[in-house]
Structure 1
Amino acid sequence: MRKQNSTFQSAFISESGSELQNNDYFAFVELEEYACYVVADGLNDLPDTESAKLAIETALLSFQEHPSMRKNALLSYIKAANRALCKADQKERLKASVMIVVTNYEAFRYVYAGNTRLRLYRNGNKKEQSRDTSLSSDLGKEKNLSEDMLAKHEERNNLYAYVGQGDRFKPVVSKKIKLENGDILALYTRGIWENLDGGELDDVFSEAKDDPKESLNDAEELLLSKQPKTLENYTFATIFVDKVFTDPERKKKRKKIAIICIAAVVIILAVSAVIWFLHRRYIRLVEDMDRRYADTIEYIQDSNFIRAGEEAKEALADAEKLRNKEYIQKISDYIKLIEAVNKADEAYDGGNYEEAQNSYISARTRSRYADHAADDYINQKLEHIADYLSVFDYIRLGDALNEQGDYDKAEEKYLQAKQLATGVYYEEGRKEAISALEDLYQNRQEEAESVKQKAQEQAEIEVSAAQLAVEGDKAFAEGDYDSASAFYAMAIEKYQELGDDVHVVLIQTKLDSCRLKAEEIKEKEQQAQDYVNDGKQQADDGNYVEAKKQYLLAKNIYKELGMDDKAEELDGLMEILAVELEQEDMEQSSTNETLDGILQE
């Protein structure tokens, strides 16, 4: 009913101009509810390339399949034309400037690509006009060039959007424009606007009457009167809107719409109240979550991880209520960080610094997923642990040196440990270093006393050894080689205890001399004893003179050896021999006297 209750007059002219073939095209379809008007300018130079015709036929066919004034619908019409030109089997890709106008007999909307133009006149004045998708149009907008200058600009045909462009195709679609009785729509190609400026066109339509053909004839007459040297193909179409469609049910529809609107308003208010309440609750949850999230970060920055953990758990509960996956992930990362730091702090407070160090390193890895919030705290703790461990390392090194007896270097390490512990306010390490120093000083004092005592004992041993050696020398000088050997043996034992090998060798030499002397004495004693035994044998045999001789030899040896008791014993034996000899002499004398008497007789 729209078409029957409205009056739209259309007319057009389309000529080849000074060209051999007309590549422009115009066509339209007027349906009951919608009408579609399309003008196209073929951009191919080769003859028999009906790019404009193919584009218009495709656009109108697409319109007839789904007539509509929606933006997406108009874009679909011109994009269908673009695909058709791209797929056409020709020597070169087909190209065209296209303007599509769709109306529902109350309003209209247009879509275009290229430099085919549209103008809307109302009450003899220009109300609306399109802008080319060309470089000259953009330059004109930037530099504020007049329409007449743009018509002659060298970049007027340098198009950045045209039908047949392919995948980068971006047409321009207008807003919906209301029509009024007496409006005039003018569609034309470049053959018109390159030769007739905007003012001349305005003059033509300012004096337009009720016949669109008359306006077209006036425009064509004006065009031809200029006698341009080169006249491109030109197409000019006009649509005279004598009467727009008026809906007879409009009042009822308005009343119905009003009732619906009131009901909708009530529903909207109720829904809005619910939404407001839910939104308010949502906002409060968001505010609470944000506040607790911020408090978590502040507590972490204040190194209060206990409170940070409490706030983070509350924030996580809010995020779960809001089903905010982003914040759930963020806060979960913070909770994992806080738990890792608390675990490390527990080991740190318990003095398990190596375990704490590993835990802080793990926590620092967690901190990367929590905006590095705890990096400063963790790094500070790791520095403290490094210092504490260094204190223990110094103390352990000092202990090792102390055990080796290198007290000076051990003292140096203990002092370094004490200084470092004092610098980092590590009281436990400082006390341990002081205790180690006290033990060191005590050990050094005890060792000094021990060394002193050992030195004194060694001196006493040296004196004793020297005295024993002197006694040995004295006994040796007196010929008491057994005593000398005993003294020398004891002296050697003392010097061996002292580790004095020089004196050991020296005394050993003397001891060896004593042994040699002792052996010589034993040999002489044995010789003397042999003389004594021979003397006794001679005495037993009555050879008293020979026996006395043997006794004298033995006595001389005993005298030489200083064995006076043995010599005295031999004196006794020799006295006995003297008695025996005297008796023998007396007996001999008596015998001799007897013999003499006998002889005398």
Structure 2
Amino acid sequence: MRKENSDFKTAFVSEAGSHFDNRDYFAFVELDDMACYVIADGLDLDKEVRSAQMAVEVILENFMEKPSMSRRKIRQDLEAAHEWLKFESRRVRLKASVLVVVTDYTRMVWATCGNARLYQFRGGRVNLRSKDQSLTQLMLDQGRLAEDRNHNHEERGNLLNYMGRPDRFEPYVSDKMPLSDGDVLLLATQGVWEQVDLPEMLDALAEASDPESLTDTLEEVVLSKQQKSVSNYTAAAVYVNKTFTEKPKNIKKWILRGAMLLLTLAIAGGGVWYVKAKQAEKLAQTAVLMVESEEDGDRYASAGDYAKALKSYSEAKNAASKLKDKLHFQLLRGKQQVAQFLSDGDGYVQDGSYDMAVDSYNDALKQADKYKPFKAEDIKARIERAGAIEALSEVIKEGDKLFQGQDYNGALEVYLKAKKAAIEAEYESGQKKVEEKIEQTQSKIDNIYKETRTLKADNLEKKGDRSLAAMDYAAAIESYKLAQEIYQEIDKLERVLAMERKISQADEKLHPAVPAGASSGEAAGAGGNAAGYVNQQQQAAAGSAGGGQAGASQQASSAAAGSSAKEQSGTPSGGGEDAAGTTSGNGKAGGNGTNGGNAGSGKTSGNDGDGGNKAGGNTGDGGNKTDTGAKADNGADGKDNADTGDGDTSNTGTDGTSNTDAEAGSAGNGAANGASPADPSSSKGGNAS
């Protein structure tokens, strides 16, 4: 095979320059016996169709169908691409400069239209440069312009011929030219050759050892010019390291064979008939292809798959063209146009260009009645669907504005409406888009709710901490439980467990454990002390209201009561100890009367006052009763007498002391539950608190 016995290396570079789109295109194919290299420079500004790519693909497709170095075949391939560009020129006229090189690895044929150039380098020098079909080249051929101004003359882009031209198309096709080992072929668009001078190309060629390094160097030269606007540029290099060597032909042998063939055909008289038979067979195959492709197109169009219908109609139309069947050609071209309008409309909807989509659908609707596969009802439904999708897009935009303004609940409501509209319009991609927005918005709402609930739970926890520090254990437990419920709701397990620990801690404070072996009196006293802390503060406030040392008689009463409780538990009484065994102290200026003793309420009187504090007649082991009393007249000496079970008397009195009535034996008094079982009724205020 020719390719295996030759060595051709190819590399190219193609970039958009400073423009957004690259409208240049290069492609090539290397078959076993032939290769084809095509480069094109798109000259139009159509945003939907790439004319350069379209032309290159049509040429290569025709070449691969029937590889040939025939000048006539190459011209036909160029004309086919030219006709295709003209047919597709509905919105904008499609135009392109094209250069084609075909080789059998021994020789080459090149063809051009426009100003895409071919350079052939041999031995470090320029062996060939193709001519542009431009006004500048015409002036150069007429001797009106110097050769060195060819690459930057102002009329270099004024083309006299190009692919897609509305009138006569005249490409140039060269003769067959031999290739030599070491040849370098350079295919370049205007973006390269107008920036790189011929001497710079030769310098780059001298430095390069392979096609990749040559194209990279040329790109560096283009960019080094630092132009404000850099055009699309494409350069392709083919290194002919080794050509295919053909065996010498035996001319006499071929002449003899030709003569014998002519003689045979003349004798048989069937040569012409054989050729015609082959042609008829090929035409029959083409006719079958035309009919089958048209049927496929009709079936796709009836099913609403207009993209596939468009492809089938195009194949059928090309077959009709080969058959020179003008009737079917016109019919198929009309069907193709309607399918194209509908396919374009669907594409515009996907791109969000709803006005253009409606225009395309209306164009199709105008011609749909002429062709049976296309249903006007379906086209009208697509127009309505495009309007619904446009309205849906506006709704989505409204939701987006609310989302950006952090009104997530409002945005969610709008998105849900949009989803319903998308389902009704059977707009699957729009529905998916809206569902993603709904998910995103719901996530925002959930996060905000979780943060709000977390903040509330944190505040409840802090409130519980403050209550715990103030020894208000019941309130602390309540706050901790509320916080725990919220943490449970928002799935914060760590904080739930933390609240459980705090609740247990507060509960232990509120209900302390009873020591083993403690008597009933001590247990009652301990309970009284635990629950009477707040009442101490009230006692102190009441004592302070008397304007002096108001807690003395209460201290004595508490001491007596505590002593009585201790007597019943078998503990000797003495010195007026309270239920917890702590010596009661005199409270001055509203101080606490006893540790944990609850003195009740007191009254202050400037005149005669009866501050008879009574300890309820608790009976001790010896049957003694505790009696306390105090009386002050206009600041006279008042004495509180306390008779305890062991006969000791505790006298406390202060000149000018205000008398306070108090019922002893509250829950804070250790003697509250210490009455003798022998005489329960003798404890007057045993459970007064």
TM-score tier by shorter-chain length is: 0.3 to 0.5
Name the structure, 1 or 2, with higher relative contact order (CA <8 Å, separation 6+).
Answer: 1
TM-score, length basis structure 1: 0.42
TM-score, length basis structure 2: 0.37
Higher-helix-fraction structure: 1
